[in-house]
């Protein structure tokens, strides 16, 4: 049975667990908002969000922090006045894991809630 990413939860991945291969990552990427991209150099899952002002940017950052703490999977964030760039990667596997895509889907759901 198919369970949408935003309804899944992150699982602990011990160091040395396998990272997703490119085909797996691209398949999961297709389940996210079109603005997410794979940065193959890092490797990471990256998306930039724009806001009308600093207040809304920080509110978004706080919501992402809440998700990250709930899932125990924390992104790198670049925060400026009206923009936040979110980078998900799984350091313990040295690449991307299901956890990155689960958290990205939950971040996508923030936008849906805002509509």
CATH number of residue 68's parent domain: 3.30.1360.20
Residue 32 domain-assigned? yes
Instruction: Tell me the average pLDDT across 85-93.
Output: 97
Degrees, nearest 5: CA angle 35-106-19: 75
Tell if the pTM clears 0.85, that is, is over it: yes
Range of the domain at 110: 17-114
What is the predicted pLDDT for the residue at 39? 95
Among 45, 55, 50, 24, smallest CA distance to 106 is for 45
pLDDT digits (tens, 9 = 90+) for 24-83: 999 999 999 999 999 999 999 999 999 999 999 999 999 999 999 999 999 999 999 999
Rounded distance between C-alpha atoms, residue 18 and residue 33, angstroms: 25
Cα 72 from Cα 81, distance rounded (Å) = 27
Domain count, the chain: 1
């Amino acid at each position: 049975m198919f369970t949408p990413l935003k309804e899944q939860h992150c699982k602990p991945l011990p160091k040395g667990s396998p990272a997703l291969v490119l085909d797996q990552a691209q398949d999961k990427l297709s389940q996210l908002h079109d603005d997410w991209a794979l940065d193959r150099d890092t490797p990471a899952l990256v998306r930039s969000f724009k806001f009308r002002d600093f207040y809304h940017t920080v509110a978004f950052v706080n919501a992402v922090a809440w998700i990250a703490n709930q899932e125990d999977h924390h992104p790198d964030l670049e925060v400026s006045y009206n923009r936040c760039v979110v980078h998900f990667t799984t350091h313990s596997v040295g690449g991307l894991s299901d956890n990155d895509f689960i958290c990205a889907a939950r971040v996508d759901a923030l936008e849906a809630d805002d509509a």
